[in-house]
Amino acid sequence: MNGTAMRFAIPNKGRLEAPTARLLQQAGFRYERTERSLAVPVLDRDIELLFVRADDVCELVTDGVADLGITGLDLVAESGADIEVLAELGYGHCRLAAAVPNTSPIDSVADFEGLRVATSHPNTAAGFFGDKGVTVRTIPLRGSVEVAPRLDIADAVVDLISSGSTMRLNGLRPVIDLLASQAALVRQRGAAEIAEVDQSVTMITSVVAARHKKYVLMNAPAHAVGKIRSLIPGFDAPSIVPLADPTMVAIHSVVDAGAVWDVIPRLKAAGASGILVLPIEQLLL
Ligand code: AMP
């Protein structure tokens, strides 16, 4: 470990900043960030948060300056560093795509041969086309990649897309995806085991796991338990709790959040009543 505290590098601005702060707070990291502060101690823990650009997280983790980091998988790929992805965090979803102006006839990877490709991910772009035996000239740009064809700096772009509206707005048409990305928890591969790192990973991954689940409680006639169990296989056997009325039971179960609204009408049809759907704060598997 460097110095005394474990150092945890997280994005200080941009798309990953707010959802990362939300995740850390839900996970139980308490800190007071003042405007522009780079290093902020976590209250009651031997952890220092380093607020840095998302692009710098990989470098800090590889250099051993930070013991843990949060950044985009696209930036991990672009850095080319030997970084271990400990967990995908379920936000910051986007894809890195090669796109051309709407008017361009280009339709396949091979059609990119000889083109000038503007991109904020030059290593990934060069690697992708190189692997396919296609030679392109990458034009590295930090931002505003999507305006490069209009300015005639480039014939095509390799850029991040989430909804696709920025590309559409700039008259660009995605042709092929290079990779899919989301925010991830990362560290230097082979880094020494540190208790604070392990504990932080558990705190964070338990929040991410809980976001995909709901706690569902209901009352049901005792004779309907078999039918209801078949409707909520869940990740674990449900708890069946007796009620004052011996013909009735309470059933508690953890259900996939995405399936809840499909399952509820079927639970009702099977005799369930008084159904409660509760969020789960943290889930340790
Ligand atoms: P930013 O700091 O806002 O430039 O973005 C940092 C990271 O946010 C990117 O490297 C991606 O991992 C992620 N991201 C998610 N959606 C998008 C998007 N539509 N455009 C750019 N970055 C995105």
Between CA 146 and CA 232 the distance in angstroms is 46
Ligand 1 centre distance from Cα of residue 70 (Å): 13
Ligand 1 centre distance from Cα of residue 280 (Å): 28
Q: Residues with Cβ within 6 A of ligand 1?
A: 14-16, 54, 72, 74-75, 92, 94, 160-162, 181
Q: Which residue has the tokens 């409680």?
A: 217
The residue whose CA has the least distance to atom 15 of ligand 1 is 92
Q: Which of 231, 265, 279, 280 is nearest to 251 (CA)?
A: 231
| CB-CB contact of 262 with 269 (8 Å) | no
Ligand 1 centre distance from Cα of residue 44 (Å): 32
In tens digits, what is the pLDDT along the chain, a chain of 285 residues?
Answer: 445 689 999 999 999 999 999 999 999 999 999 878 899 999 999 999 999 999 999 999 999 999 999 999 999 999 999 999 999 999 999 999 999 999 999 999 999 999 999 999 999 999 999 999 999 999 999 989 999 999 999 999 999 999 999 999 999 999 999 999 999 999 999 988 899 999 999 999 999 999 999 999 999 999 999 999 999 876 568 999 999 999 999 999 999 999 999 999 999 999 999 999 999 999 998
The three-point CA angle 89-92-94 to 5° equals: 120
Q: pTM of the prediction?
A: 0.92
Q: Can you say how many angstroms the Cα of residue 190 is from the centroid of all Cα atoms in its chain?
A: 23
